[in-house]
Amino acid sequence: MSEKVTVFDTTLRDGEQAAGTRLGSQEKLIIARQLAQLNVDVIEAGYPASSPEDFEAVQRIGREIQGPTICALSRAVAGDIEACGKALAHCKRPRIHTGIGASDIHIGGKFQDERYGKTLAEKRLKVLEMAVDAVKLARQFADDVEFYAEDAGRADPAYLFEMIGAVIAAGACVVNIPDTTGYTVPEQYGTLIRSIRENVPGIERAVLSVHCHDDLGMAVANTLHGVLNGARQVEGTINGLGERAGNAALEEIVMALRTRADYFGVHTGVDARELYRTSRLVADMLGVKVPPNKAVIGANAFSHSSGIHVDGFLKQRETYEIMRPEDVGMMESRVVLTARTGRHGLLDRLRKLGYPVSEQELDQAYRRFLVVADKKQEVFDEDLMAILHDEIHPVPAAFELEYLHSYSGTSAIPTATVRLRVKGVTQEGAAIGDGPVDAVCRAIAQVTHTAAKLQRYEIHGVTSGTEAMGEVTVQLEDEGRRVVGRGASTDVIEASAKAYIDALNKFASLDSGARRSTAGS
Ligand code: KIV
Ligand code: ZN
């Protein structure tokens, strides 16, 4: 039997940092449920000290998700570690992931203050002491403590070995070697992992973990070289989301280890048939679409179009296909629902998609489903997900769209009138704009008095055809905070208005969350 590699998913922490988006605790919980279905071993749920929202998300996931270990991130700072301890207090399998910069670039840059020492040598000593203290403190809250040596990819190996040895002696059971800046190349990263195994006393008491970023497009290759050289935990995110160019894409790592088990000689416990569904859920929740040519889960990953390929494929599948779409759960997603699908059928499908909806949510979704099924005849999973995100709001609605009228044409000034319920009171606004979408957003901004700036606007047809639902994703920024809003409708102006209002509701919910936490402190 081959050795098992632990799969550590950090979509909800490193991945979330990516899109410039904050996920609410309800959204994180929905994704965490799906990650549990995918059967990852560890879910990094967030960074509790970073915000009351993230604290709540880690706490809820820790309480509700059974199966995987739930991990919370901290710096090597007592307050951060205590926040992790508190957030994970009711979790069955908690892990605290703490760490500190290991490269001289990080040590010199982040610890400039003289209280960390005057010379680089003094600072290195201080950082080592902080690393050890952090692990010891974390062990007071959890038996399972992972240590990250940030920017290990650019660290002086001798110092890195010393740091790793010290944190293992202090009680770390997993040691993460992040290539934080995506600087290394596969052979070099693999050699680093091997040299840690060869040079750190006590290394056999810890699992070595690989955490690679994709700045030079080598995150997955680096991760796999890490595995070849003895790492037994892989860290990554669904769809490769993450800071800057992203993290190693988990679906690619899993399928590489599985498809080339002959070469790597290891296995994971991931249920690969859940990969496609997980990918779509994450793309949808974070508002970052998957490119069609994306390996493993892109829409074209299994499409053959050139004549020679199609001919060969039809004669014998293996000629041009090394994995089958059903291996990653793509075929199942093609199930089509129609107006004849009853409420029960809809519920079953929604559960399979990772949405355990309440009775009330199901009523709402079913009403909307019937309207869409009437217009479109065939309803795909993509349509269902759009309906759900539109109907089931993870945050309470401070603003609700009651009425929308827009007017535009080749020789008309685009104009929009909206009527909204603003905290229970009906208010109206009207505006002109550069186009109908601009006009409607201006009218909504007028009514809600928002100062938020529209950073990103994307529209795509959920399925094909002119009757397809249009799904709009917007990203708004206000005082350094960013949120993503989504809206779907067969009318794209309405979808745009819904997306804009959804984002404003998220800001309102963040504001009320901040007020709650100030009141409680
Ligand atoms: O890339 C990195 O160094 C990280 C650590 C915080 C684990 O994400
Ligand atoms: Zn990272």
| pLDDT per residue as tens digits for the range 108-131 | 999 999 999 999 999 999 999 999
pLDDT for 286: 85
Does residue 100 contact residue 127 with C-beta atoms inside 8 Å?
A: yes
Q: Between vectors from CA 62 to CA 61 and to CA 66, what angle results, nearest 5°?
A: 90
The ligand 1 atom nearest the CA atom of 10: 8
Q: Considering every ligand atom, which ligand is closest to the CA of 152?
A: 1
Q: DSSP labels for 335-367?
A: --B-TTS-HHHHHHHHHHTT----HHHHHHHHH
The closest residue, in CA terms, to atom 1 on ligand 1 is 180
Buried b (16+ CB within 10 A) or exposed e, 23-42: bbbebbbbbbbbbbbbebbb
C-alpha 496/C-alpha 412 separation (Å) is 20
- Ligand 1 proximity of 75 Cβ (cutoff 6 Å): no
| pLDDT per residue as tens digits for the range 352-411 | 776 778 888 888 889 888 988 887 777 887 788 778 777 666 566 889 999 999 998 888
Chain mean pLDDT for the chain? 89
| pLDDT per residue as tens digits for the range 164-192 | 999 999 999 999 999 999 999 999 999 99
The ligand 1 atom nearest the CA atom of 235: 7
Look up the CATH superfamily of 3-286.
Aldolase class I (3.20.20.70)
CATH 3.30.160.270 domain residues, the chain: 399-520
* pTM confidence score: 0.82
Most confident of 77-81, 283-287, 395-399, 435-439: 77-81
- Ligand 1 proximity of 180 Cβ (cutoff 6 Å): yes
Look up the CATH superfamily of 399-520.
Alpha-isopropylmalate synthase LeuA, regulatory domain (3.30.160.270)
Secondary structure (3-state) at 481? strand
C-alpha 349/C-alpha 353 separation (Å) is 6
The ligand 1 atom nearest the CA atom of 150: 3
The closest residue, in CA terms, to atom 8 on ligand 1 is 14
The ligand 1 atom nearest the CA atom of 97: 7
Distance 18 CA to ligand 2 centre (A): 10
C-alpha 171/C-alpha 187 separation (Å) is 30
- Ligand 1 proximity of 150 Cβ (cutoff 6 Å): yes
Ligand 1, pocket-test mutation among 209, 211, 237, most atoms within 8 A of CB:
211
Distance 70 CA to ligand 1 centre (A): 17
Lowest mean pLDDT among 46-50, 95-99, 166-170, 408-412: 408-412
Question: Residue 375 — φ and ψ, nearest 5°?
Answer: -75, -35
Look at 310 and 421; give whichever has higher pLDDT. 421
The ligand 1 atom nearest the CA atom of 180: 1
CATH 3.20.20.70 domain residues, the chain: 3-286
Which residue from 36, 79, 32, 78 is spatially nearest to 59, judged by alpha carbons? Answer: 32
Q: DSSP labels for 82-134?
A: HHHHHHTTT-SSEEEEEEEE-SHHHHHHH--SGGG-SSHHHHHHHHHHHHHHH
